[in-house]
Amino acid sequence: MIELVPLLIVLLALIFLRVDIAFAIATVSYLWLYIAGESMTTGVTRIFSGLNSFVLLAIPFFLLAGELMNRSGITNRIVNFANYTIGRIRGGLAQANVLASLFFAGITGAAVADVAALGSVFIPAMGEEGYDDAFSSAITAASSIIGPIIPPSIIIVIYGSVTGNSIGGLFAAAVIPGILLGGALMVITGILSIQYDFPSHTPEMTRSELPSMLFDSLVALTMPAIILGGILGGVFTPTEAAAVACVYALLIGGGFYRSLTGNKIVESLRVTLERSTQLYAIIGFASILSWMLAIQGITRQLGNTLVEMGLSPVGFMLVVGLVLLFVGTWLEIGAAAIILAPTLATIAETLGIPAYQFGIMFIVTLNFGLITPPLGICLFAASSVSEVPVWEISKKILPFYAADLAVLLAIVYFPQLTLMLPRLTGV
């Protein structure tokens, strides 16, 4: 236990020095193995053990499906659909930004991808209509965290693999909270639109173009329904669903839109390979760290401490939420899930907290770290798109952050928000 503090300092130092998170975790993990007198080959064994899970095969397939759809021009189609649906109201372009994130979430499942793709479209467009660039960046970053929550979601796959929870059940449990997050952001946007007199937006589209736009958009937005419906209906497993999503993306991008060229497919494969390798490296090295925490008795001590505090289920989730808000700001959320989820989920089970409720609370809270000032990675992603300093975006994001926290509290206090769909679908 004593060596954990300096090792944690080393990990934080490596992260702040911008060392790749996988190598930072690897350095600390192997350093701890050496200090504890464990064989270095044990680390290799734990890496293979951590990656030896069939459900983790879903990760590259979901990533590839998202890449293929994005390179098929889906971003502009979603933006046009969102603009036409809600753009005419006051602050319509800001509202369309949030709505587009909801739709985009069901295709990419990644927050940073959301910021990069939608931010490059919405931030300049909002600037042309008189919106403050810091506000435009803030709403883009705030809505991006819906991506890792609404299925398909890589972090849900990772969480389910390390806790043994049904991934299909977690997917179902995440739908209502994800929609609530989008709704809360739209309410705050509506209030700010009145306060700052934001303009409405009239989409540049003729009546003859409308049917084509709607059909193009709905064809793309069918993919999340196929994934979730297939899993919940027992037609295929999450891994098989991810593979089906890739086939669907190829058919839509290459056959229907006719915009997916050979070069784009090759580039999609390259990016998928790169991102999958990064994620698998994080999962493997974090598995060493998780194992060391267990054999050193630290996870047991943590569990005993939390149990001895005599917390109620709600109190336990609030304490865990505070810890995860801090952890999520500096540690990659996949690594955080691998290290913390098994222990915390076990304690939650002993307290009688429903597995799906705790899992979604855990995932939502970790994702808040992506937009928590001043270190949230999505803040930096938005800043790189808009060239607005992070501290200015941080100030503008506070009302949206408060709305997200309100949804988190609703998840904690009202378990039916996460249990309703799993019960209805029988997963």
In this prediction, residue 3 has a pLDDT band, given cuts at 50, 70 and 90, of low
Q: What is the pLDDT of residue 290?
A: 86
- Between CA 414 and CA 273 the distance in angstroms is 40
Lowest mean pLDDT among 42-46, 57-61, 82-86, 308-312: 82-86
CB count in 10 Å sphere of residue 421: 20
More confident call, 20 vs 273: 273
Q: Once rounded to an integer, what is the mean pLDDT over residues 150-179?
A: 91
Rounded to 10°, the helix 390-413/313-330 angle is: 160
> What pLDDT score does 226 carry?
83
- In b/e form, how buried is each residue of 394-420, taking b as 16+ CB within 10 angstroms? bebbebbbebbeebbeebbeebebbbb
74-115 pLDDT, tens digit per residue, is 777 777 777 777 777 788 888 888 988 888 776 766 777 778
Task: Give the pLDDT confidence score for residue 54 in this predicted structure.
Answer: 84
CA distances 84 to 17, 97, 172, 387, Å, are 44, 12, 28, 28
Cα–Cα distance measured from residue 367 to residue 145, given in angstroms and rounded to the nearest whole number: 6
Please report the pLDDT score of residue 77 as a whole number.
78
Share of the chain above pLDDT 90, in %: 30
pLDDT tens digits, one per residue of 365-393:
999 988 987 778 888 888 988 889 989 99
* N- to C-terminal Cα separation, the chain: 39
Residue 388's region, left for phi above 0, alpha for psi from -120 to 50, else beta, is beta
Highest mean pLDDT of the ranges 45-59, 142-156, 157-171, 190-204: 157-171
Q: What is the per-residue pLDDT for 202? A: 65
Confidence of residue 206 (pLDDT cuts 50, 70, 90): low
Name the residue ranges covered by the structural domains of the chain.
4-425
Q: What is the DSSP string of 385-403?
A: HH---HHHHHHHHHHHHHH
Contact, 168 vs 231, CB < 8 A? yes
Could you identify the residue written with the tokens 């937005």? 221
Q: What is the pTM of this model?
A: 0.87
Per-residue pLDDT tens digits for 266-289: 999 999 999 899 889 999 999 998
